Amino acid sequence: MTNETTLRAGKIAAAWDWWRDAGVDCDFADEPTAWLAEVPKDVAIEAPAALVAPRPVVPAAPPRPRIGGTAEAWPRTLDDFSAWWLAEPSLDDGRIEGRVAPRGIAGAKLMILVDHPEAEDTERLLAGPQGRMLASLLRALGLGEDQTYVASALPRHMPMPDWAALAADGLGTLTAHHIALARPQRLLVFGSNVSSLLGHDPAKSDGFLPIFDHEAPRIPALVAPGLTALAARPRGKARLWQALLDWTGVE
């Protein structure tokens, strides 16, 4: 290699070193490139497989168990239902203690449906202040213990139930089955959370349900505010009393 060739090679290397130190390490062209131009639809652009991160496979969440299990396994008589209500684990995520059975007779003139037992309840459903107020109302309507059926949508006292989750897990269907087994002549539902399980608009605090029809027979139903709310609202009690008189024809 001649001295001239060696000198030329040194100049080229020095030039590369100068540009590299200046931060220029790529080839450039004078022709502009339209980087934001739309790609024709018939041109497919795919990233190299090595640059595409694989999407993690997320396993599907297992379905939540239905409240009370499958409908095929539900009791078919009211007597069997009462015993099942106290013992079936799937009604309350396996919890048994604190449950209170419904009370009354099948084919009652009036069925009372509330959200859950009172905190004081042990052996008897609605044995506390709510129950005493309800008993006064039933006496005023001329209805005795042997003419009513009292039940709750939940088996034990729950201060803050997640009603949306309970409805999604099938509590409304189970409640409808309970009513069908009781076969009341009329149904009085206390509380919009409970009535919403049966198709009532929860935005309305009271009013008439559509004629309740589940597995026959058709049952006239009335929705009232919850018993706790009524206890604090004398005007609400007066409105309920008038609605009951109009509904039942009692004078």
- Residue 91 and residue 67 in contact, taking contact as beta carbons nearer than 8 Å: yes
Whether residue 182 is contained in a domain is answered as: yes
Lowest-pLDDT range, 44-53, 81-90, 103-112, 235-244? Answer: 44-53
Question: Residue 200: what pLDDT?
Answer: 66
Whether residue 94 is contained in a domain is answered as: yes
Determine the average pLDDT of the residues in 21-46.
Answer: 64
Determine the average pLDDT of the residues in 79-105.
Answer: 94
Whether residue 123 is contained in a domain is answered as: yes
Question: Residue 248: what pLDDT?
Answer: 77
Q: Domain tally for the chain?
A: 1
% pLDDT > 70, the chain: 69
Whether residue 156 is contained in a domain is answered as: yes
The residues, ordered by sequence, that sit 6+ positions from 230 with a Cβ below 8 Å of its Cβ are: 133, 190, 224, 236, 237, 240
Question: For residue 53, is pLDDT > 60?
Answer: yes
In the structure, what pLDDT confidence band is assigned to residue 40 with cuts at 50, 70 and 90?
low
Whether residue 61 is contained in a domain is answered as: no
We report the CATH number of the domain holding residue 244 as 3.40.470.10
Q: How far is CA 92 from CA 42, 66, 101, 161, in A?
A: 59, 10, 14, 11
Whether residue 137 is contained in a domain is answered as: yes
Whether residue 63 is contained in a domain is answered as: no
Q: How far is CA 103 from the centre of its chain?
A: 27
β-partners of residue 213 are 218
Whether residue 177 is contained in a domain is answered as: yes
| pTM as predicted | 0.72
Which range of residues forms the domain containing residue 227? Answer: 71-248
pLDDT by residue (tens digit) across 144-191? 989 999 999 999 999 899 999 999 999 999 999 999 999 999 999 999
What is the number of other CB atoms lying within 10 angstroms of the CB of residue 57?
A: 5
CA 74 to CA 71: how far, in whole Å?
5
